A = this chain, B = another copy of it.
Amino acid sequence: MARPQTDHDEMREQLLDCAEQIIRERGPVAPTVTEIAAKCGMSQSNVYRFFPNKDALFEASVERWFAPFNDIMDEVVESDLEPREKLFQFFARRAALKAARYEEDPDYFQSCMTLGEEYSDVVMGYIDLADHYMAIILGEAISAGYFAGMTIDQLVSPVNLMLQPYCDPELTMRYPTATEKNLRIIVDTIFDGLRGDREVQKSEPLRLAS
């Protein structure tokens, strides 16, 4: 995350620190401008100079939460690693950051998850961005000869599903088996086994037990 460059940026960061502190203290309720002003000892009209309303404040908080994840994705995608290693790093580094954040304050982490579910429209853009970055890696893999017979669009869902325990922050710490070693095995399995040119098998009809 870029450090604040100006007084204006620095004040903005301080207000976001206040917002974070309020959530840490009382749980998953988005702070209002009034609350931030009180917490920072600043007039409400002064806070409005930085955040015109509660939504703008909340969106900036979400942006700050995601910024290091975006930096990781950008760094991995821009690197000259080969596609298999890129996909591994893409998930491993973000999973490690999620785990570190969870460990630092599990309740605050859970509050962020709850707020994220509540304001899913704000969060959705960041999820789409992650899919976009992943699609670049998958495209490079296709160019390198992997995933025969499949398009990027066909790949995104199954790859995401196979990696959900490393991807969905709600699942952080839910699966103790979601280790880096198993991530390596899963990424290798995807690169060696996922293809669209095998003969289609006919599914047995689903019969539910009585």
The interface of chain A, by Cβ under 8 A from chain B, is 1, 68, 71-72, 75, 81, 84-85, 88-89, 92-93, 96-97, 100, 157-158, 160-165, 171, 175, 177-178, 180, 182, 184-186, 188-195, 198, 201, 203-204, 206-210
Residues of B within 8 A of A195 (CB): 192
**What's the nearest-Cβ distance from chain B to residue A146, in Å?**
11
Q: Which residue of chain B has its CB nearest to the CB of A170? A: B174
Residues of B within 8 A of A161 (CB): 162, 165, 175, 177-178, 182, 186
Copies in the complex: 2
Q: Which residue of chain B has its CB nearest to the CB of A97? A: B208
Main secondary structure of the interface of A (DSSP, over half): helix
> Cβ of B207 and Cβ of A93 under 8 Å apart?
yes
> Cβ of A206 and Cβ of B158 under 8 Å apart?
no
> Cβ of B203 and Cβ of A184 under 8 Å apart?
yes
- Return the contact of A68 from the options B84, B180, B209 (Cβ within 8 A): B209
Residues of B within 8 A of A100 (CB): 208
Residues of B within 8 A of A210 (CB): 1, 71
> Cβ of A180 and Cβ of B209 under 8 Å apart?
no
Tell me the complex Cα distance, A5–B92, Å: 54
> Cβ of B186 and Cβ of A162 under 8 Å apart?
yes
> Cβ of B85 and Cβ of A201 under 8 Å apart?
yes
